[in-house]
Amino acid sequence: MSAHLSVDQPTPLHFCEPYVKPEIAAKFLNLSRKHVLRLARENVLPSHNVSRENGKRQHQRFLISELDV
């Protein structure tokens, strides 16, 4: 039996990282909330638009792994 993964074998599930609010991202980066949102708007920081289930409003959310560069 081979120790190599074949194409037919499923790959292990990856950890699902939660999105964090701008306040948490700001604490992580030691910046103000407004500054984090401005940098995200200017595409300096990677961010994700997350909408509620009803789709009425979008919120900026961040992944700490993307901020930890």
* pLDDT tens-digit series, residues 26-37: 999 999 999 999
Give the residue extent of every domain in the chain: 22-67
pLDDT reading at 38 higher than 80: yes
pLDDT reading at 21 higher than 80: yes
| Burial bucket for residue 10 (CB in 10 Å: 0-12, 13-18, 19+) | exposed
Which residues have C-beta within 8 Å of that of residue 24, sequence separation ≥ 6? 62, 64
